Amino acid sequence: MPGLIEALRGLFTGGARRPAAAAGGAAAVIAAAVAFVGPREGLVTDAYLDRIASPPVWTVCYGETRGVRQGDSYTPEQCAAMLGAALADYRTALIGCIPGLPDQPQGVQVALTSWSYNVGTGAACRSTLARLANDGDWQGACNQLPRWNRAGGVVVQGLSNRRALEQRLCLEALP
């Protein structure tokens, strides 16, 4: 696991802990977020009914639900483009409630964008994590990530694993 975290940190920060502006800005954050989120969401190119969601929702690619209908099918390239566009939207919405996010290191931005893509920006923006970030307590915000490990009220090991990776990426990016 430490090797994976180091590799992710190197990918997302160029091996150094530096602000996003120095790492290429929003485009670099989105590219890194696609690389982080894709493997955690998993690629399914044909639409399927996600029954964990309440109510169940048609889903495709890397967890895309917007406008998805039964019978939809996409190429892996189309799915990657959809994920990038969705992550950009989620990052923008998250910046709407955490205005200081773009000033944080890339690893922090990637971790929080991944989290918001998974839990939704409504929940993210109403969270203690957002309040702590807005108070300037970025370490405290990162440490909130493991709390978001449930689906349908039940702890899900895959979510616990994802949150642990997001938390480590977030904390290790901080100066």
Residues noted as catalytic: 41, 50
CA angle 112, 174, 160 (to 5 degrees): 45
Classify residue 114 as exposed, middle or buried by CB count within 10 Å of its CB (0-12, 13-18, 19+): buried
End-to-end CA distance of the chain: 21
Alpha-carbon Rg for the chain in angstroms: 16
Its sign, for the CA torsion 119, 121, 122, 124, is positive
Its sign, for the CA torsion 92, 96, 98, 100, is positive
Containing H/E element for 65? Answer: none
Give the largest CA-CA distance in the chain: 47
